Amino acid sequence: MSTRRLPVYILADVSGSMSGTPIESVKSGIRQLHRDLMSDPQAIESAFLSVITFSDSAQQLVPLTEVASFNPPDLRASGQTNFGDGLRLLLDCFDREVVKTTADQKGDWRPLVFVLSDGAPSDVDWPTYAQQLRDRRPANIIAVACGDQADVNVLKQVTEAVILMQDMSPDAFKAFFKFVSASVKQTSAKVGSVADGQGITLPPPPPGITIVP
């Protein structure tokens, strides 16, 4: 393998409460993210994108794909919030898609994951998978609590890095996805100088998005 990849996963809540403006904003945000990364030579070289959604069940709409070949998916909102299935599929994708470092080769860089949710889980299994993510620490995970109904305490059980985006307008989502692309670009630029397993430094979040202490 010539270039070590930086896997970037977007795990998006597409339950019924996201229908209308929120889901359309996420769709246009992912398109914007792709355009932004296409303008960055370092990101084109190292970043690979995947989109996973969860509602009644989880689906990987786009497997881990190099930026130049990425096709932003269509998203539709309906159903419940099976958060556990989303986390289970994310763990499964890490196992299947992320190349591990061995004695013979350097594997991929530590994945960067953005989790978006606007509600509380409707399933009972999610704590099991949240615990697995915390125990294994397979990725740098940033969770985003969207709107007033998002359960911050649930997201805190997945990762320490939780940000709150109370405004769910198209402009707020646009600013958030700009933050995502800046994070990916910054990480892409630094991957050669960051030690394996080390955390990353994210750019400051945009106005209206606060880091939950």
213, pLDDT greater than 60: yes
Please report how many Cα atoms fall inside a 13 Å half-sphere around the Cα of residue 79, on the Cβ side. 15
Quote the pLDDT of residue 126. Answer: 97
Contacts of 81 (CB under 8 A, 6+ apart): 13, 15, 17, 54, 55, 117, 119, 120, 121, 122, 123
35-45 burial, b if ≥16 CB within 10 A, otherwise e?
A: ebbeebebbeb
Give the count of beta carbons closer than 10 Å to the beta carbon of residue 149. 12
Q: Which residue has the higher pLDDT, 201 or 47?
A: 47
How far apart (Å, rounded) are the C-alpha atoms in residues 131 and 146?
Answer: 22
Task: For residue 94, give the amino acid letter.
Answer: F
Supply the pLDDT for residue 200.
64
> Tens digits of per-residue pLDDT, 103-127?
888 899 999 999 999 999 999 999 9
Per-residue tokens: 127: 């704590």
Q: Which amino acid is at 126?
A: W
pLDDT, mean over the chain: 91
Q: Summarize pLDDT for 139-187 with one digit per residue, the tens.
A: 999 999 999 999 999 999 999 999 999 888 888 899 999 999 999 998 8
| Residue-level pLDDT at 198 | 55
The domains found in the chain, sorted by start residue, are 6-211 (3.40.50.410)
| Residue bearing tokens 């497997």 | 63
Percentage with pLDDT > 90 across the chain:
76
pLDDT of residue 187: 87
Mean pLDDT across the stretch 19-26?
Answer: 94
pLDDT tens-place string over residues 53-101: 999 999 999 999 999 999 999 999 999 999 999 999 999 999 999 999 8
Place of tokens 């099976």: 82
pLDDT of residue 2: 57
3-state helix, strand, coil in the chain (%, to 5): 40, 20, 40
